[in-house]
Amino acid sequence: MKIELKMADDSVREGTAASGATSVLVLGACPECKGTPFYVGGIKGTRSHTHDQHLADAGCLACGKGVGKLVVTVDTIFGIDADEEMLSRSRCRVY
C-alpha cells in the first residue's frame, strides 16, 4: 500500500499509517497551521476510488483545514470492486 497527499499547490508528500489507523502521518509541516507532526484524515467531501486507488479530501487533524487529497494505492489482483466481490461474496477459487 502506498499513501500520498496531493497538496493544494500540486506538490505530493508521502504518508504513513499503521494497520487500521484512522489518520495518516505526512512528512513536513501543515501548510495552514505549520504544525508538526502533520497528521491528516479524510474529511467530508469527495470520496471515490479507481481501479487500484482510494481518493478522499484530506484535512489537518490539528487545525481542521483542508490541505489536499489523500490517495491510497492498494495492492489488488482484479481491482478494488472485483477483489471485494471475490473475497466477501463468493466462494474461494484457485487460479
Domain membership of residue 94 (yes or no) is no
Q: Is the pLDDT of residue 92 over 70?
A: no
**Residue 52 within any structural domain of the chain:** yes
Which residues, 6+ apart, have CB-to-CB distance to 33 below 8 Å?
60, 62, 63, 65
Per-residue confidence (pLDDT) for residue 22, from 0 to 100:
85
In the chain, how many domains are there? 1
Would 51 be classed as within a structural domain?
A: yes
Spatial separation of the C-alpha atoms in residues 44 and 56, rounded to whole Å: 8
Pairing type for strands 53-60 and 38-49 reads: antiparallel
Range of the structural domain that residue 38 is part of: 2-89
Distance CA 35, CA 37 (A): 6
List, for residues 18-72, the tens digit of each pLDDT value: 888 888 999 899 999 999 889 999 887 666 667 778 888 999 999 999 999 999 8
Phi, psi of 51 (to 5 degrees): -55, -45
